Amino acid sequence: MTLPVILHVDLDAFFAAVEQRDRPELRGRPVIVGGGGPTDRGVVSTASYEARVFGVRSAMPLRTAAALCPNAVFVPVDGAKYLAVSSEVMTILRRFTPRVEPVSIDEAFMDVTGSQALFGDGESIGRQIRSAIADELALTASVGVATTKLVAKVASDLRKPDALVVVPPGDEAAFLAPLPITRLWGVGARMADDLRELGVMTIGELASLDATLLERRFGKNGAALAARARGLDADPVADRAPAKSIGHEHTFDIDTSDPEVIERTLLAMAEGVAGRLRATGVKAATVTVKIRDSAFRTVTRQRTLPDPTDLTEPIWRAALELARPEVRGLRVRLLGVTASNLGQRDQLSLFSGDGIGTGREERGRRLVEAEDEIRRRFGERAVTRARLLGTGLPAPFERDPMTAAEHRRPRASEEH
């Protein structure tokens, strides 16, 4: 039986880290995100690690935070910006598996059990994810790797910030044993007090209690509590609703203003997008390009196509026309191409005999589908365009922006 490989990815001091990234003058300084300032009656949404050393914590009144850290810089919450960055993070996670379960704006579970043949074991995938988030978004993330969501979550939180903690199969109970009971899911302040009355201070001491005693004391939650204390958790990573768009992004190793490089990169991404559309059995009516320059300024431009498509050429042409006026005079750090307004492909229009497509269109589609089959059998690079040979561009990965189920408001208190 193959054991699950679960990752919990948790961005470090997310709101504050985004502000420090986008405002260089804040880097290295204590930053408190939330409310209108130190005299505001609101609460802290998150604090940078520089502020936390003074005792500032999420959900703390802003006035208390200001008293603890009088030199802090107070920044209002920018929910739209944090949602946009969160979407970019989820895009990176979905490069490694479609089984991604966002649990808040700054964290998600991943089941990478079926991805190891492509990307390596859980530890290797965790390292790749952390590197991608750092290289592409200039943020840090902590990752826990385990056989259950419970243990992966505890692991990711254990050595923050910017940490990778791996719990090997079979070591779950030993890993949890020395930790305080408040680290365990479902143990709030009141239950922690009840457990301390029983002489329980650590998760290991909780695991050693008789399950019957826990059931008598805590009712139906007692058995679940005993199981969690041993690292047992049958809760699977829950897939979200189908993606509402498909796209690719590419971050250049060196920022570029070369028009040929930009055009080739857009072509590579358009080809990847089109392939994913065909594999999913949908066509797109809208194309969006994303451009980020060397100063981390980001613009997006969008166009509705004359006819929905799942082919490379119309997506690429639209992307080119959108990007060209925007990249003039810029050194480009990142490019992205996304297809949206997805609809099921009209099967009658795809093949001969329906009287809709021309013979040339039909032959072109048959060629494209033959290429798709070769890639499925022999890998993404088995067939490529001559213009992309020797460019060094990586095979693009699927980009699934946040679905409706993931588009939640930033939570008021973002702790990690």
* pLDDT score recorded for residue 211: 81
Active site residues: 107
pLDDT at position 370? 66
Locus of tokens 């702790």: 415
Has residue 100 got a pLDDT over 60? yes
Half-sphere exposure of 109 (CA within 13 A, CB side): 23
Other Cβ atoms closer than 10 A to 48: 28
Q: What is the pLDDT of residues 40-57, one digit of tens each?
A: 777 898 999 999 999 999
pLDDT tens across 6-18, in order? Answer: 999 999 999 999 9
Asked whether this chain's domains 172-229 and 245-388 adopt the same fold, the reply is no
Look at residue 398 in the predicted model and tell me its pLDDT: 33
Q: What is the pTM of this model?
A: 0.62
| pLDDT class of 194 with cuts at 50, 70, 90 | confident
Q: 261: closest CA among 134, 269, 132?
A: 269
Yes or no: domain 172-229 corresponds to CATH 1.10.10.10: no
In words, the CATH class of domain 245-388 is: alpha beta
* 312 to 131, 291, 308, 356: CA distances (angstroms): 30, 19, 12, 20
Q: Report the range of poorest mean pLDDT among 283-292, 297-306, 347-356.
A: 347-356
Alpha carbon distance 9, 265 (integer Å): 29
167, 150 Cβ separation under 8 angstroms: no
- The domain spans of the chain are 1-148, 172-229, 245-388
Architecture of the domain made up of 1-148: 2-Layer Sandwich (3.30)
Q: Provide the residue type at 75 as one letter.
A: V
Inform me whether the pLDDT recorded for 324 exceeds 60.
yes
Dist. CA 372–CA 382, nearest whole Å: 10
